[in-house]
Amino acid sequence: MNVPFLDLKAPHEELRVELREAFDRVLDSGWYVLGEEVEQFEREFADYCGAAHCVGVGNGLDALHMIVRACGIGEGDEVIVPSNTYIATWLAVSHAGATPVPVEPDARTYNIAPASIEAAITPRTRAIIAVHLYGQPADMDAINAIAGRHGLKVIEDAAQAHGAMYKNRRVGTLGDAAGFSFYPGKNLGSLGDGGAVTTNDPALAERVRVLSNYGSRVKYHNEVKGFNTRLDELQAALLRVKLRRLDSWNERRKVVAAAYLDALAGGGLVLPYVPEWADPVWHLFAVRTPRRDALQVHLQNGGVHTMIHYPIPPHRQPAYIELAIPAGGLPIAEAISREMLSLPIGPHMARGQVEYVVACIAEYRQGGR
**Tell me, what DSSP letter sits at residue 16?**
H
The rounded mean pLDDT for the chain is 97
Residues contacting residue 142 through CB under 8 Å, at least 6 positions apart = 114
Q: Which strands make up the sheet holding 169-170, listed edge to edge? A: 169-170, 165-166, 278-279
Residue type, 140: M
Model confidence at 268: pLDDT above 80: yes
8 A C-beta contact, residue 213 and residue 226? yes
Tell me what percent of the chain is helix, strand and coil, each rounded to the nearest 5: 45, 20, 40
Q: Check residue 180 and give its pLDDT.
A: 99
List pLDDT tens digits, range 201-249: 999 999 999 999 999 999 999 999 999 999 999 999 999 999 999 999 9
The Cα–Cα gap between 58 and 62 comes to 6
Mind listing the pLDDT tens digit for each residue in 3-38? 999 999 999 999 999 999 999 999 999 999 999 999
**Which pLDDT band holds residue 368 (cuts at 50, 70, 90)?**
low
Question: Cα torsion at 323, 324, 326, 329 (round to 10°)?
Answer: -40
Sign of CA dihedral 45, 51, 57, 59: negative
Strands (DSSP E) found in the chain: 53-57, 78-82, 99-103, 125-131, 153-157, 165-166, 169-170, 177-181, 195-199, 216-218, 221-222, 278-279, 285-288, 340-343
- Identify the pLDDT of residue 369: 57
Q: Which amino acid is at 213?
A: N
Percent of the chain exceeding pLDDT 90 equals: 99
C-alpha 304, offset from chain centre: 24
Compute the distance between CA of residue 140 and CA of residue 152 in angstroms, rounded to an integer.
Answer: 13
- From residue 29, how far is each of 229, 242, 361 by CA, in Å? 22, 20, 51
pLDDT of res. 367: 73
Distance CA 218, CA 100 (A): 34
| 199 neighbors 205 (Cβ within 8 angstroms) | yes
Helix (H, G, I), strand (E, B) or coil at 6: coil
Helix axis angle for 246-264 and 351-366, nearest 10°, is 30
pLDDT by residue (tens digit) across 274-301?
999 999 999 999 999 999 999 999 999 9
CA gap 172, 176 in Å, rounded: 9
125-131 and 78-82 as β-strands: parallel, antiparallel, unpaired? parallel
- Of the candidates 352, 299, 245, which has an alpha carbon nearest to the alpha carbon of residue 5? 299
What phi, psi does 21 have (nearest 5°)?
-65, -40
CA triplet 207, 213, 218: central angle to 5 degrees?
85
Angle at 325 between CA 76 and CA 135, to 5 degrees: 85
| pLDDT band at residue 366 under the 50/70/90 scheme | confident
List pLDDT tens digits, range 169-193: 999 999 999 999 999 999 999 999 9
